[in-house]
Amino acid sequence: MNILLIGYGKMGQLIDKLATDAGHQIVGKITIDNTADLQTLDTEAVDVAIEFSQPEAAIDNIKWCIDHQIPVAVGTTGWLDRKQEVDEYCELNNGTYLVASNFSIGVNLFFKLNEQLAKLMNSQSQYAVSTKEIHHTHKLDAPSGTSISIANGIIDHLDRKTSWVNEETDVPTELTIISERIDPAPGTHEISYTSSVDTIDIRHTAHSREGFAKGAIAVAAWLKDQKGVKSMEDFLNQV
Ligand SMILES: NC(=O)C1=CN([C@@H]2O[C@H](COP(=O)(O)OP(=O)(O)OC[C@H]3O[C@@H](n4cnc5c(N)ncnc54)[C@H](OP(=O)(O)O)[C@@H]3O)[C@@H](O)[C@H]2O)C=CC1
Ligand SMILES: O=C(O)C1=N[C@H](C(=O)O)C[C@H](O)C1
């Protein structure tokens, strides 16, 4: 397939290598320095775009893809409080996009495990829950998009939590997300349930960025033949 890479940093460059090795063609590489190249790009030659840029840039990039009828798989985090607005723009303009806070298959299994454990904890009020994410020091957003997805999974399935905060908290209805920045951590997410007698920890540790990149390429290959606002759930259920 012909892929347009929007954002050509750590993720864009790795996707370039893995997609090229797998026989795909990269038809454009957009960074903050050459966004003007989009104006002269032959959009007919693009099957799908993969967007890994930065929080301030993502929405404009997604809207550009929607305007040009290019399906776009979006990995950029830190803007998802405005997802509803982008969903509506996509539907209104007959576009196609999918955003995932994490494209790794392992993390998406971990999301399911998190939800199951949260459900079980409804009848076990002696356990206090908290979460932690660890990433490299170049990361612009905190908490990570993945940790927000985890927190929402807990809030949706554990009755005693109704919101999250990015700090330690004593408010019973608030869920703590602790963010640590340590190089070279590609991405670690932990959930802990602690009682006076024991602790249950579940943790996903990315060993490199390869899982994110391979997941994004697989999603892009599927998304190019879809229509509308799609989710990782849609992808995993159909592939
Ligand atoms: N969903 C997932 O599975 C994953 C998500 N991420 C997220 O993806 C994003 C990118 O991560 P990463 O590659 O590590 O970050 P980098 O900082 O390494 O790369 C970001 C890239 O975006 C470019 N950029 C900045 N502004 C624009 C713009 N307006 N248009 C196009 N490109 C632009 C930068 O250009 P320049 O170099 O010129 O500044 C750079 O090439 C982050 O939000 C991160 O949290 C990361 C890993 C996995
Ligand atoms: O910035 C990163 O590196 C990562 N960002 C994503 C996030 O915010 O959850 C996914 C992954 O953990 C790596």
Domain ranges for the chain: 2-103+210-238, 105-205
Ligand nearest to the CA of 216: 1
How many angstroms separate the Cα of 146 from the Cα of each of 80, 108, 159?
11, 10, 21
Helix (H, G, I), strand (E, B) or coil at 95: coil
Ligand 2 centroid distance, CA of 141 (Å): 9
Instruction: Look at residue 36 in the predicted model and tell me its pLDDT.
Output: 82
Separation CA 143–CA 63 (nearest Å):
25
Instruction: Look at residue 39 in the predicted model and tell me its pLDDT.
Output: 87
198: which 2 tokens?
A: 């024991």
Ligand 1 centroid distance, CA of 190 (Å): 24
Question: Do 14 and 30 form a contact (C-beta atoms < 8 A)?
Answer: no
108 touches ligand 2 (CB under 6 Å): no
Instruction: Look at residue 168 in the predicted model and tell me its pLDDT.
Output: 97
CATH class of the domain whose range is 2-103+210-238: alpha beta
Ligand 2 centroid distance, CA of 199 (Å): 26
ipTM above 0.95, yes or no: yes
Q: Strands of the chain (E only): list them.
A: 2-6, 25-30, 48-51, 72-74, 96-99, 128-135, 163-165, 174-181, 188-194, 199-205, 228-230
Instruction: Look at residue 239 in the predicted model and tell me its pLDDT.
Output: 85
The DSSP output letter for 76 is -
Question: Do 114 and 155 form a contact (C-beta atoms < 8 A)?
Answer: no
Separation CA 72–CA 39 (nearest Å):
17
**Is position 10 annotated as part of the catalytic site?**
no
**Is position 135 annotated as part of the catalytic site?**
yes
71 touches ligand 2 (CB under 6 Å): no
Instruction: Look at residue 82 in the predicted model and tell me its pLDDT.
Output: 96
Q: Which residues of the chain have pLDDT under 70?
A: none
pTM for the model: 0.96
Ligand 1 centroid distance, CA of 129 (Å): 31
Domain topology for 105-205: Dihydrodipicolinate Reductase; domain 2 (3.30.360)
- State the residue for tokens 């809207």: 63
Instruction: Look at residue 35 in the predicted model and tell me its pLDDT.
Output: 84
12 touches ligand 2 (CB under 6 Å): no
Number of residues that this document lists for the chain:
239
Residue 163 — φ and ψ, nearest 5°? Answer: -160, 165
From the list 10, 68, 139, 157, the catalytic residue is 139
Closest residue by Cα to atom 44, ligand 1, is 76
Per DSSP, helices labelled H in 77-209 are 83-92, 105-120, 145-157
Instruction: Look at residue 137 in the predicted model and tell me its pLDDT.
Output: 98
37: which 2 tokens?
A: 């190249």
145 touches ligand 2 (CB under 6 Å): yes
